[in-house]
Amino acid sequence: MISILAQERLLGAALGTIFTGVFVFQQRKDIYRSISDTQSQFVPQSHQMREPVFRKKSHLGCAHLWNKAVDQTFGPVIQALSSRGW
């Protein structure tokens, strides 16, 4: 059975975590809003909608190269563990 002191500490940690999460979320929201407001003042409306730097095709290419590199790097380790019954 958990003692009352441990329950109080657990409750305090949970409430502190929740409070910190809400505080950080609000701060980030305010920062992003201020950045957006500042950018809208300096950027003309015609230039706000830009094309993404990377297209979907290049994302898929990067993902494929990443997966290939991981397979080549960790392939021998996985084979060794598989041969041992892991």
Domain residues for the domain of 81 are 51-86
Is residue 56 located within the same domain as residue 43? Answer: no
CA distances from 45 to 38, 39, 52 (A): 13, 10, 17
Q: What is the pTM of this model?
A: 0.42
Is residue 2 located within the same domain as residue 37? Answer: yes
What is the C-alpha R_g of the chain?
25
pLDDT of 7-65, one tens digit each? Answer: 899 999 999 999 999 999 999 999 998 888 888 777 665 555 555 555 555 667 788 88
Q: Which helix (H) or strand (E) holds 56?
A: helix 56-83
More confident residue, 53 or 5: 5
- What's the structural domain count of the chain? 2
